[in-house]
Amino acid sequence: MMKSVSLLLVFVWWAQGTGLWMQPNKFKFEVGEKMILGFRSGEGFEGDYWDMGQHKVGKLVLHNRIAETNLAGRVKATKGDNVEYVFNNVGTHLVAMESDEAFTERPADGFDAYLAENGLEYVGEERAKLGEQGAARELTTWYAKLLVQVGDKTDDTYKKQAGLKFEIMPLQNPYGLKSGDYMDCKVLYRGNIVPHALVKVWSHVGNRTFLQNVYTESDGMVRFPISNRGPWMVSCVKMVRSHSPQAEWEGMRSSLVFEIE
């Protein structure tokens, strides 16, 4: 029995320590076509269905050049195919999602490994200063953004701040880029730039996934080369001291997904 409990806890630590992204049925649409979104848990386009039994969508909004549409009421607690939306306007569309909070408790060694993997060494330094050596409790929120294109006419919706607490904002429209170009993104926390943060950039080609690890500059900007066509994911993790009595730390995981044609 104890072994089963231990295995379950390990799975929970892994599940809470992975990213969340929105996977569309495709990235390029025409007016009148239906987008079907699935919530996925993992990293670099590798993972499983997001567990809608344990997690909930806090906010889900679609932005375009004309209006904002609240999609939260359309969410289905299924394994994949969680949201459907029919486009009625051309242009670039941004879907922004915020999850509910999830509680995680990790043993000290597991927490240290998680910090190292995500460039959060400053949290370990603060723990050392505070004399915290045991297990760490964290409340995690996921923030996911998706860019899709309807028709050929692009617009500035891609760089709209979605009002998320922690978000990645592209500075070029990916649907105007091609392989060989560079893309710039800005990482924001409460609307302010986040310097020296580890950003993971994933691209997917066939059955292979490629990863670039880059850090934001002092202005919160990161630049990376666009090396291939296909789906791309940009992700970042931030952690601050929690004000909740439930946990010592507040974790935030942000993702941005788009396609290069």
Contact between 97 and 37 under an 8 Å Cβ cutoff? The reply is no
Please work out, in degrees rounded to the nearest 5, the angle formed at the alpha carbon of residue 25 by the alpha carbons of 66 and 171: 50
Contact between 161 and 188 under an 8 Å Cβ cutoff? The reply is yes
Contact between 20 and 251 under an 8 Å Cβ cutoff? The reply is no
Residue-wise pLDDT for 44-64, tens only, equals: 888 999 998 889 999 999 999
Residue-wise pLDDT for 219-240, tens only, equals: 999 999 999 999 999 999 999 9
Residues 114, 120, 121, 127: what is their CA dihedral angle, to the nearest 10 degrees?
-80
123 alpha carbon, distance to own chain's centre: 20
Banded pLDDT at 17 (limits 50, 70, 90): low
Residue-wise pLDDT for 128-187, tens only, equals: 999 999 999 999 999 999 999 999 999 999 999 999 999 999 999 999 999 999 999 999
Q: For the whole model, what pTM was predicted?
A: 0.92
Task: Summarize the confidence of residues 190-217 as an average pLDDT.
Answer: 95
Q: Is residue 115 scored above 70 in pLDDT? A: yes
Check residue 139 and give its pLDDT.
Answer: 97
